[in-house]
């Protein structure tokens, strides 16, 4: 039985043919790596692109009007996927002094805007064509209003009675008392 298995293993059918050599044709010589002409073309393309970018990115002076326009554009970009923050961000005050753009935001928008600092910085640098622009953040102070205190029932009645004196007569005729 061993003799029957042995001839099938050594048969010439299972032997792979020898590899053939591939020779390059004379019409297209074999090139390996980077050629001098491709480097020259790459350098020329890069130079042209930089010149075009320099022409497109003329320095724009920061003014109050174009800062507001740029601010609304950047808010649309960064808050398009965060609609909850958009109204809070739009309430922020944007001011500039020299190359510094300061964003005064309330507490709701402050953390979100601060996390988007790189995107804001890149946008303003590209918009104004100025690499010296810096974006700073500040928290808006809470606005104090004297009318936010909670009124007692007696104080509410007194305010209503000053506007409509017949309420005082109705209270007296019914014998009501608002003091607790």
pLDDT tens for each residue of 51-71: 776 666 677 788 888 888 988
Has this prediction a pTM greater than 0.85? no
How does residue 180 score in pLDDT terms, banded at 50, 70 and 90?
A: low
Together in a domain, 161 and 101: no
Rg of the chain, C-alpha, whole Å: 39
Residue 32 lies in a domain: no
Does some domain include residue 83? yes
Distance CA 115, CA 111 (A): 6
- b/e map 16-32, b = 16+ CB within 10 Å: eeeeeeeeeeeeeeeee
Residue 55 lies in a domain: no
Percent of the chain with pLDDT over 70: 73
Phi, psi of 82 (to 5 degrees): -125, 70
At residue 2, does pLDDT exceed 60? Answer: no
**How is the beta sheet containing 93-97 ordered, strand by strand?**
93-97, 100-105, 134-139
Residue 60 confidence (pLDDT): 78
**6 CB neighbour count, 10 Å cutoff:** 10
Q: Do both 125 and 97 map to the same domain?
A: yes
Q: Is 20 contained in some domain?
A: no
Residue with tokens 């064509």: 129
Domain assignment present for 31: no
For residue 6, the model assigns a pLDDT of 52
> 121 and 173 share a domain?
no
On whether the CB atoms of residues 74 and 97 are closer than 8 A, the answer is no
Domain range for 87 is: 64-139
pLDDT given at position 25: 53
Co-location of 134 and 155 in the same domain:
no
- The larger pLDDT score, comparing residue 102 to residue 129, is at 102
> Residue 13 has what pLDDT?
55
Is the per-residue pLDDT at 30 higher than 60?
A: no
Q: How many domains does the chain have?
A: 2
12 belongs to a structural domain: no
Same domain, 72 and 123: yes
Does 129 share its domain with 157? no
Q: Domain ends where: 123, 139, 155?
A: 139
72 and 115 together in one domain: yes
pLDDT in tens, 121-174: 989 888 888 888 899 999 888 766 555 677 788 888 888 889 998 988 988 898
- What is the per-residue pLDDT across 73-87, written as a single tens digit (0 to 9) for each? 988 888 877 777 788
CATH of residue 99's domain is 3.30.300.180
Specify the higher pLDDT residue, 32 or 5. Answer: 32
Residue 51, in any domain of the structure: no
The pLDDT value recorded for residue 115 is 87
pLDDT at 16: 58
For residue 38, being part of any structural domain is answered with: no
Predicted confidence at residue 102, as pLDDT, reads 92
């Amino acid at each position: 039985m061993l003799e029957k298995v042995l001839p099938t293993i050594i048969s010439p059918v299972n032997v792979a043919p020898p590899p053939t050599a591939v020779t390059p044709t004379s019409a297209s010589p074999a090139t390996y790596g980077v050629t001098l002409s491709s480097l020259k073309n790459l350098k020329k393309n890069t130079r042209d692109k930089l010149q075009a970018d320099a022409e497109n990115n003329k320095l724009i002076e920061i003014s109050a009007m174009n800062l507001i326009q740029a601010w609304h554009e950047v808010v649309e970009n960064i808050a398009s996927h965060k609609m909850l923050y958009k109204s809070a961000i739009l309430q922020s005050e944007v001011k500039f002094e020299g190359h510094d753009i300061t964003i005064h935001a309330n507490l709701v928008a402050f953390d979100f805007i601060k996390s988007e600092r790189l995107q804001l910085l890149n946008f303003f640098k590209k918009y104004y064509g100025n690499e010296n622009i810096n974006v700073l953040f500040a928290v808006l102070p809470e606005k104090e209003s004297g009318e936010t205190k909670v009124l007692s029932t007696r104080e509410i009645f007194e305010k209503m009675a000053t506007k409509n004196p017949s309420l005082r007569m109705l209270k007296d005729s019914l014998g009501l008392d608002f003091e607790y």
